Structure 1
Amino acid sequence: MASPPKQRRPRDAAAIGALVGAVIEPVCAKRGFATADLIQAWAEVVGPRYARATQPDKLIWPRREAAAAGANARQGATLVVRVDAGMAIYLQHETAVILERVNGFLGFGAVSALRIIQGPVDTPPQPKRPKTISPAAEREAAAAVADIESDGLRQALERLGRAVYGEVERS
């Protein structure tokens, strides 16, 4: 007797972050990063001064033979950071601070050295500025949401209204 065919169940919706992670993780592993967390949080780790002028390039772990050689062997990894030419000297002077921030982010002293290479840095796209709209449209957007009690919701809807009016006025 033949068994009835199995029913296929549709998959639930998945967060885009979960799907992107599956694609990015192998690339990060090739570059020495266990996860993409440090790359994603780089701007917060290094601060606003270096966020746009630097990016982590790769993490070089010491070979097991060198680590087992003795106390003189470096125990941590070397973080290679790509830096715009004009900022390299400043970053070099703050190497200890950057290493402390990176290790603080990772939760342990994984990185013991920083290698700086000069080169172009891929900068993230800048957020778009809100378009200016006429004062009449501004008043209309504010009046449309004036009855909403929640401040956060009212402000968000007002921003949305200004953006919509901005698009309509440009057309």
Structure 2
Amino acid sequence: MDEETEKLSREDQAKLTRWLSEQRGRRQYRHAPKASVSVAKIIKPLSSKFGAGVTPIHQNWEQIAGKRFAKISRPVKIMGGKDGRTLVIKAPGAAAALIMASSGQILDRLNSFLGYGHIARIKVIHGAMKTAPQSAAPKPSPRGLSATEARELQSSLAHIKDDALRQALETLGKKTLSETRQYSNKT
């Protein structure tokens, strides 16, 4: 009897398998996913691990660092590490020491902007700052005089008859005018 029940169960299994194979439908056709979905699967974990980058910080650097430090520094990159992220700031010479001295305040403002604990440290590297051109008007050379200044100097020295004295005074006048212009531009 045991063989008969096994035989029936094998026959029933075969019928069941046959019936399932006949009743089974085709697999559903699915379109390829959009590229944005695939890219998001890659970018999202990287963004959560490394952050959004320096661009939002760079755009709001004046509010984060303050006007004084924004003029003399700029954010370069964010480095991720085991101990947390580090913002690298580029500043020239002694400005780097000033920024490091007030790094606690900058770090607080930075984390209030990005979110609590986003940046753990600030690292300041020394480097020259590139400045944007301030105006389209051509500036006179720092050592020379403009054409109008040279004409005014010539006309003021025209009444002097001694050539050697006139040339010495002209040289002195050019040097004095160019140095006073340099001094007034620095302040």
Query: Shorter-chain-normalised TM-score: which range?
Result: 0.3 to 0.5
Question: Would you tell me which structure has more helix in proportion to its own residues?
Answer: 2
Larger Rg: 2
Taking structure 1 as the reference length, what is the TM-score of the superposition? 0.46
Taking structure 2 as the reference length, what is the TM-score of the superposition? 0.42
